[in-house]
């Protein structure tokens, strides 16, 4: 029996919505100035038209010593509640620069324990294999 315990209300209301998550074949590096905040060969690329694609980097490849969790939270009816972190080496520009869905809805569990960064607050370099 396929019983989903934490279903997305967004997908229930809009079953034609398409969000894809695929493994990125290459390396993704996130920098604040010269400081590497994250570097991964295991990033995932989330596509949700009409928005720009977003890299989600595994927590294990993020230097949380360069981050500080903030009080900001937001809600997506498709993914769940997002928590935010500031990127300390980016100073004020890095405020709330990374977000993560720590307990995503069942349909989006592929991005659990992954963080995403705003490209206007840090530098994101993606090098394909």
Full set of structural domains in the chain with CATH = 19-127 (2.170.150.40)
Task: Please give the radius of gyration of the chain, using alpha carbons only, rounded to the nearest integer.
Answer: 15
Mean pLDDT score, 31-56: 97
Tokens of 121: 């607050």
Query: Dihedrals φ, ψ of 80, to 5°?
Result: 125, -155
Stretch 88-110: mean pLDDT:
97
Beta bridge partners of 28: 40, 126
Q: Which pair of structure tokens corresponds to residue 7?
A: 């279903």
CA dihedral 3, 6, 12, 18 (to 10 degrees): -100
Rounded percentage of the chain residues whose pLDDT exceeds 90: 94
pLDDT value at 4 more than 90: no
- At 98, the pLDDT band (50, 70, 90 cuts) reads very high
**How far apart are the C-alpha atoms of 40 and 58, rounded to whole Å?**
8
Q: Whole-angstrom Cα distance, residue 87 to residue 105?
A: 26
pLDDT band at 1 (very low <50, low <70, confident <90, very high): very low
Determine the average pLDDT of the residues in 65-86: 98
């Amino acid at each position: 029996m396929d019983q989903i315990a934490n279903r997305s209300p967004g997908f229930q209301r809009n079953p034609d919505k398409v969000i894809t998550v695929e493994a990125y074949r290459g390396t993704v590096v996130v920098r604040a100035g010269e400081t590497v905040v994250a570097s991964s060969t295991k990033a995932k690329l989330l596509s949700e038209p009409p928005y720009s694609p977003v890299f989600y980097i595994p927590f294990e490849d993020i230097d949380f010593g360069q981050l500080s969790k903030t009080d900001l939270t937001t809600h997506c009816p498709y993914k769940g509640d997002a928590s935010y972190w500031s990127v300390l080496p980016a100073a004020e520009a890095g405020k709330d620069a990374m977000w993560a869905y720590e307990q995503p809805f069942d349909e989006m569990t592929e991005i659990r324990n992954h963080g995403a960064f705003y490209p206007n607050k840090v530098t994101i370099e993606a090098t394909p294999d």
